[in-house]
Every structure is written in structure tokens, then in C-alpha cells.
Amino acid sequence: MDTDKKENLKKTRDRRKRINRIKVGIILTITGSILISLIAIVCLIVSVVKLNNRLDEMEEGGTSSSIKDVITSTDSSDNIKSPESNEKTNVYLTFDDGPSDNTDSILDTLGRYNVKATFFLVQKDDAVMKDKIKRIASEGHSIGVHSYSHKYSEVYASLDSFKKDVESMRDFLEPLIGYKTKLYRFPGGSGNKVTNVDIRDCIDYLNSQGINYYDWNVSSGDAVSNAYTADELVENVMKDVLKYKTSVVLLHDANAKGTTAEALPRLIEALQASNVSLLPITDDTPPVQHVKAK
């Protein structure tokens, strides 16, 4: 009888050990699966962030290098102020990619400081966005074409595709703003690295239509990264804006650029304290261009 009890006890212990091993195995498997899933999620987030940053870089010219690397004609000696010069800098605040959910905030700020700016717009066909375009025009800001599709692969597929994009956007804007704009900004700038067509052929076309294109020589950095704080965006502009007689500042009016709208009051105050002239681009504004025509 004692032998039977001992055997039963041994079987019970062995069974418990097997059950415990199974439990431990299950826990380790679940824990491992969770860790692998977390690592995969982190890797995915990192990949998405990198892709987003790359797309933002493309918007600034299709290259991750400094803007200075692609400018070929903007900073000619006749536009650079000498250190002892008392000449006022003419500053043109320009906003690409609008209208957006941030447009009204930007317009409210510009109105509060009595500043006129320039908006290079993309096609937004819903009634709310059309009303924002009408408001930009009614409040006296300059309006130019940025793109109808804003898809580089379409805009720069061929010279005909480029022409179609420009004219489609001009036709879209005309009934909303009351005139056919002659201002233009290349998607990615005229020095972009993603076009399949010779950019100088595009420039020749714009010239033939009496359209003036404007790049920029001062960047806020909001195209390169969404990580800049409002103060950093202001600093990015102020470190370069007083170097030139004509400073065209690149800013963005897009849903993801809320920090730009937040920074705008501080930027305008910093510029006004520096005694610059804040102006909208007109047909008479000296051109700031990364690439000139042939």
C-alpha cells in the first residue's frame, strides 16, 4: 500500500512538473510574441517617420542637402546686403500647399498685424476650401499657382503634363479670385531633383505665358520636418532673413503644419522689430529663383 501511495505521489509530482513546464512555455511564447509585435510596431513607426521626412524633403527640392546647394541664381551679389547697409529688407512671407484647416488661423494672424502675404495654392474642390481661397483673395493677399494635382509624377511627367497642371490650376482659381494669376511656384522649387522634363523648358513655357515664378532664399524649415517648435521656426527664418535686400520666406499652409500657424505671430513680431518691410509678391517683385531660363 505504501508503495502504491509513493507511486501515486510521484505521478502527481511529475504531472505537476509537466503542467508547470507547459505553463512556462505558454507564458514565454506569449511574452515573445508580444515583444516581437512591439519591435515590429516600433520599426514600422520609424519607417513611416523616415518616409514622411523624405517626402517633406522632396517638397523642398527633392534633395536632403541644404537649400544653398541647389540655389544657382538667388543670392547674387546685388541682392546681398553689406553689413554696414541701412537699407530695409523687403520680406515676402509665402505659404505653399493651401488652403488647409490652418488657413483661417493664418489669415486671422495676418489681419491682426495688418500684413499681406502670398499664397501658392493647390486644388481643393470642396466648398469649405473654396471659401478659404475666396477669403485669401478678398483680404488682399497675393495668390499664385502651386499645383493642380501636386503629384510630382504627374506634374513633371512631360512638358505637356506640366502645362496642363499649370493651366488647370489657373482656370480653377480664376472664378474664385476674380482674375487669372500670373504668379507661380514650382512644386519642389525650380531646383527640384524629381522632374522628368528639363525644368528650363518649363520656365520657357511660363515666360511665354507671362507667368512669373518665385522660389525662396529663406526657409522656415517646416517643409523638412514637423518636429521644429514654433520658436525654432522663427529662429530658422530670422538667422537668414536680414542677409538680403529681397527675402522670400518659405512657409507652409497645410493640415500637418499647425506649428507654422502657431509660430506666425512671433515671426511677424520679430520681423517688425527688425524694421523690415513685409509685402505681398506682385508682378514687380524682384525674382528669387533657384534656376534661371536658358
Query: Catalytic residue positions?
Result: 96, 252
- Dump the DSSP string for 32-84: HHHHHHHHHHHHHHHHHHHHHHHHHHHHTTS-SS-GGGT-SSTT-GGGBPPTT
Q: Are 202 and 214 in contact (CB under 8 A)?
A: no
d(CA 193, CA 200): 13
Residue whose entry in the numeric block shows the C-alpha cell 509660430:
263
d(CA 172, CA 179): 11
User: What does the radius of gyration of the chain's CA atoms come to, in whole angstroms?
Assistant: 28
d(CA 57, CA 79): 26
Residue whose entry in the numeric block shows the C-alpha cell 511677424:
268
